[in-house]
Homo-oligomer: A and B are copies of this chain.
Amino acid sequence: MTLVEIKRLLIGEPFPTSREIHERLDKVRALAVFASDPISSNAYATEAIMSVLIALGSGGLAMTLPVGMGVAGLILLVIFSYIQTILHYPDGGGAYTVAKDNLGTMASLLAAAALLTDYILTVSVSISAGVRAVTSAVPAAFEYRVWIALVAIVLITWVNLRGVRDSGTIFAIPTYAFVGGVLLVIVIGLARLNSLAGLPTSAPVVPASDHGASLAGFAYVWLLLRAFAGGCTALTGIEAISNGVQAFKPPESKNAAATMVAMGVMAMSLFVGITFLSTHLRLAPQEAESILSQLTRQVTSGGLLYYWVQFFTAMILFLAANTGYQDFPRLSSFLARDNFLPRWLQNRGDRLVYSSGIMVLAIISSLIVIIFQADEIAMLPLYALGVMLSFSISQSGMFRLMGRIRHLKKGESLKTQVTEIHYEANAKWKQATNALGAGVTFLVFIILVLTKFMEGAWVVALLVPVMVTTFYGVHRHYDRVAEALTTRGMTMDDISEVADVVVIPIADVHRGTVLAIEFAKRISSDVRALCVTTSAQMDDRLLRRWNRFPEITADVQLIRIEYDYRDVLSPVVDYIEQLNEVEFPDKLTTVVVPEFIPEHRFANFLHNQTANRLRWRLREHKDIVIIDVPFHIDSRL
Number of identical monomers bound together in the oligomeric complex: 2
Render A327-353 as a binary contact track against B, CB cut-off 8 A, 1 for contact.
000000000000000111001111000
Question: In the complex the two chains form, what is the Cα distance from A525 to B629 in whole Å?
Answer: 20
Contact B567 A344 (CB under 8 A): no
Would you call A492 an interface residue if the criterion is a C-beta within 8 Å of the partner chain's C-beta atoms? yes
Residues of A203-223 at the interface with B, using a CB-CB cut-off of 8 Å, are none
- The segment from A66-74, A139-147, A288-296, A481-489 that touches chain B is A481-489
Question: In the complex the two chains form, what is the Cα distance from A549 to B16 in whole Å?
Answer: 33
Q: Given A519-B498, A605-B342, A637–B487 Cβ distance below 8 Å?
A: no
Contact B487 A606 (CB under 8 A): no
What B residues does A607 contact at CB under 8 A?
342-344
What B residues does A15 contact at CB under 8 A?
565
Q: Given A511-B490, A515-B496, A566–B628 Cβ distance below 8 Å?
A: no
Question: In the complex the two chains form, what is the Cα distance from A342 to B637 in whole Å?
Answer: 12
Render A572-602 as a binary contact track against B, CB cut-off 8 A, 1 for contact.
0000000000000000100000001110000
Contact A512 B485 (CB under 8 A): yes
- The segment from A160-168, A418-426, A618-626 that touches chain B is A618-626
What B residues does A498 contact at CB under 8 A?
518-519, 522
Residue of B with least CB distance to A352: B566
Residue of B with least CB distance to A517: B495
Would you call A287 an interface residue if the criterion is a C-beta within 8 Å of the partner chain's C-beta atoms? no
What B residues does A511 contact at CB under 8 A?
484-487, 490, 494
Question: In the complex the two chains form, what is the Cα distance from A588 to B518 in whole Å?
Answer: 11
Would you call A17 an interface residue if the criterion is a C-beta within 8 Å of the partner chain's C-beta atoms? yes
Residue of B with least CB distance to A476: B637
What B residues does A637 contact at CB under 8 A?
473-474, 476-477
What B residues does A630 contact at CB under 8 A?
619, 622-626
Q: Which of B480, B485, B608, B625 contacts A344 (CB 8 A)?
A: B608
Contact A492 B17 (CB under 8 A): no
Count of interface residues, chain A, beta-carbon cutoff 8 Å = 77
Closest beta carbon of chain B to A546's beta carbon, Å: 10
Question: In the complex the two chains form, what is the Cα distance from A511 to B551 in whole Å?
Answer: 40
Q: Given A486-B510, A626-B627, A566–B347 Cβ distance below 8 Å?
A: yes
Q: Which of B495, B598, B627 contacts A627 (CB 8 A)?
A: B627
Would you call A548 an interface residue if the criterion is a C-beta within 8 Å of the partner chain's C-beta atoms? yes
Closest beta carbon of chain B to A632's beta carbon, Å: 5
Contact A487 B515 (CB under 8 A): no
What B residues does A603 contact at CB under 8 A?
477
Contact B522 A480 (CB under 8 A): no
Would you call A523 an interface residue if the criterion is a C-beta within 8 Å of the partner chain's C-beta atoms? yes
What B residues does A634 contact at CB under 8 A?
480, 484
Question: In the complex the two chains form, what is the Cα distance from A17 to B608 in whole Å?
Answer: 19
Render A490-517 as a binary contact track against B, CB cut-off 8 A, 1 for contact.
1010111010000000000111101100
Question: In the complex the two chains form, what is the Cα distance from A76 to B375 in whole Å?
Answer: 63
Closest beta carbon of chain B to A167's beta carbon, Å: 19
Question: In the complex the two chains form, what is the Cα distance from A549 to B490 in whole Å?
Answer: 9
Contact B484 A606 (CB under 8 A): no
Question: In the complex the two chains form, what is the Cα distance from A477 to B534 in whole Å?
Answer: 26
Would you call A8 an interface residue if the criterion is a C-beta within 8 Å of the partner chain's C-beta atoms? no
Q: Given A481-B635, A511-B486, A628–B629 Cβ distance below 8 Å?
A: no
Which positions in A face B, CB cutoff 8 Å? 14-18, 342-344, 347-350, 473-474, 476-478, 480-481, 484-487, 490, 492, 494-496, 498, 509-512, 514-515, 518-519, 522-523, 534-535, 545, 548-549, 551-552, 564-567, 588, 596-598, 603, 605-608, 615, 619, 622-637
Beyond A473-B637, A481-B596: 14 further Cβ-contacts under 8 Å?
A344-B608, A347-B566, A477-B603, A477-B635, A477-B636, A478-B606, A485-B596, A485-B631, A490-B549, A494-B511, A523-B523, A615-B628, A622-B632, A625-B629
The 5 A-B pairs of least Cβ separation, nearest first, read A485-B510, A16-B564, A480-B635, A484-B633, A523-B523
